[in-house]
């Protein structure tokens, strides 16, 4: 096995990391296994908002993921925070610096779940539009702005990875708010990469396709799900959180040191345009 290098002793911040079957949790665990101490953030969901699967597992939101990080032999810090609140993001950054004295990696994974926004523009509630923009796009902007300054001040480079979506490239009907937020995130990625490259800081986005997380459970796992996979994914299966996590670790490693400003489709071949 050829191990990725340059991650030992680094400090990574992963937002939206509190769900059991998800993208955030595998990212946090993969970074820990690669040698990173990990800061985990979430909104502090109350137990009544857990999925049945989480309730059965005795889930404790970001505290459970912190336990996974510790089990991987690394330090963990679990903090409730709201990426859509600039002051909360500033406090988060201060807490990270107080605890670890540095930050090296930021993974902007927090995102609004599928919901009532999936409808035509003429029927879309403006408050839902604002919520999705506030979390998916503005939240990533706040995190990138605040932690980006910490990376610049640190003087040792670093990596920001934004978890976008192929929805920000294919622009399907009934998805305008979500697609616009993710397309904006890809623009944020490209522009910032050109601004901070001289400091040795890389900024990239990953665009997942259909990933089998609890947020997709409303589709079920029967005929609708199977037909979705059959018609959309040339490799014939849904993605997993680990599929996304492997790409994140690569982008943050020394082996990914010449990759910046990119929005990579990790989607089983669903989207081939850039």
Instruction: Report the catalytic residues.
Output: 178
Contacts of 147 (CB under 8 A, 6+ apart): 13, 89, 93, 103, 106, 160
Judge whether 10 and 37 are in contact, CB under 8 Å: yes
Alpha carbons 191 and 188: distance in angstroms, whole number: 5
Closest CA to 266 of 255, 257, 251: 251
DSSP letter assigned to residue 211 = B
Judge whether 26 and 58 are in contact, CB under 8 Å: no
Alpha carbons 24 and 27: distance in angstroms, whole number: 5
Distances (CA, A) of 200 to 157, 240, 247, 257, 270: 4, 30, 19, 9, 32
Q: For residue 129, with 0-12 CB atoms within 10 Å meaning exposed, 13-18 middle and 19 or more buried, which class applies?
A: middle
Closest CA to 72 of 34, 22, 15, 104: 34
Please state, as a whole number, how many other Cβ atoms lie within 10 Å of the Cβ of residue 72: 18
Q: What are the b/e assignments for 226-235, b being 16+ CB within 10 Å?
A: eeebeebbee
Longest Cα–Cα distance in the chain: 53
């Amino acid at each position: 096995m050829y191990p990725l290098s340059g991650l030992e002793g680094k400090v990574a911040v992963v937002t939206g990391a509190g769900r059991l079957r998800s993208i955030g949790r595998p990212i946090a665990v993969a970074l820990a296994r690669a040698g990173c101490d990990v800061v985990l953030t979430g909104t502090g969901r109350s137990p009544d908002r857990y999925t049945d699967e989480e309730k059965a597992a005795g889930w404790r939101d970001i505290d459970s993921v912190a336990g996974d990080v510790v089990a991987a032999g690394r330090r963990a810090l679990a903090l409730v925070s709201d990426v859509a609140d600039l002051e909360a993001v500033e406090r988060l950054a201060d807490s990270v610096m107080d605890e670890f004295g540095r930050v090296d990696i930021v993974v902007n994974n927090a995102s609004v779940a599928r919901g009532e926004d999936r409808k035509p523009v003429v029927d879309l509630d403006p408050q839902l539009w604002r919520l999705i923009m506030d979390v998916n796009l503005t939240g990533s902007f706040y995190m990138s702005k605040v932690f980006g300054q910490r990376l610049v001040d640190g003087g040792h480079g670093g990596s920001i990875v934004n978890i976008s979506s192929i929805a920000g490239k294919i622009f399907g009907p009934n998805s305008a708010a979500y697609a616009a937020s993710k397309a904006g995130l890809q623009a944020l990625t490209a522009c910032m990469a050109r601004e901070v490259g001289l400091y040795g800081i890389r900024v990239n986005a990953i665009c997942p396709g259909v990933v089998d997380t609890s947020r997709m459970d409303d589709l079920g796992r029967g005929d609708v799900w199977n037909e979705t996979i059959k018609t959309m994914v040339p490799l014939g299966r849904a993605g997993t959180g680990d599929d996304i996590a492997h790409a994140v670790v690569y982008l943050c490693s020394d082996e990914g040191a010449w990759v910046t400003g990119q929005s990579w489709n990790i989607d089983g071949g669903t989207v081939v345009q850039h």
